[in-house]
Amino acid sequence: MDYTTLLTSQLTDLFRIGLLVGLFYTMERTKPQTGIAIPLLAGIAFVAVIIPSTMPIPEVSFSNALVSGLIANSIIVGVLWLIFGFLKKRT
């Protein structure tokens, strides 16, 4: 599996997106106590490690899945940040 296919499959993984939406929602609710940066970075790293650890793809090495997972998670969280920011301004 080439790198662009791997990244595309991770960007469209509904389980990954669901975990990151939950992470982002929790971060928004606990922002006064925990801040923003540390929970998001820890969550991005956690999801990037836990998914290839529990559901490995046989033809992809763990390190490739981890690096592309970090990139995909960062992109997804960035999009979520834009969506939540837009919705927050509208209310």
Q: Which of 52, 56, 45 is nearest to 23 (CA)?
A: 45
- Number of structural domains the chain divides into: 1
Count Cβ atoms below 10 Å from residue 15 Cβ, excluding itself. Answer: 10
Quote the pLDDT of residue 37: 92
Predicted pLDDT of residue 90? 84
Q: What is the pLDDT along the chain (91 residues), one digit of tens a residue?
A: 889 999 999 999 999 999 999 999 999 899 999 999 999 999 999 999 999 999 999 999 999 999 999 999 999 999 999 998 998 888 7
Enclosing domain of residue 19: 3-90
What local confidence, expressed as pLDDT, does residue 1 receive?
Answer: 84
Question: 2-5: long-range contacts at Cβ-Cβ below 8 A with a sequence spacing of 24 or more?
Answer: 3/64, 3/68
pLDDT of residue 5: 94
Structural contact between residues 26 and 18, judged by C-beta atoms closer than 8 angstroms: no
Write down the pTM of the prediction. 0.92
Looking at residue 89, what is its pLDDT?
A: 87
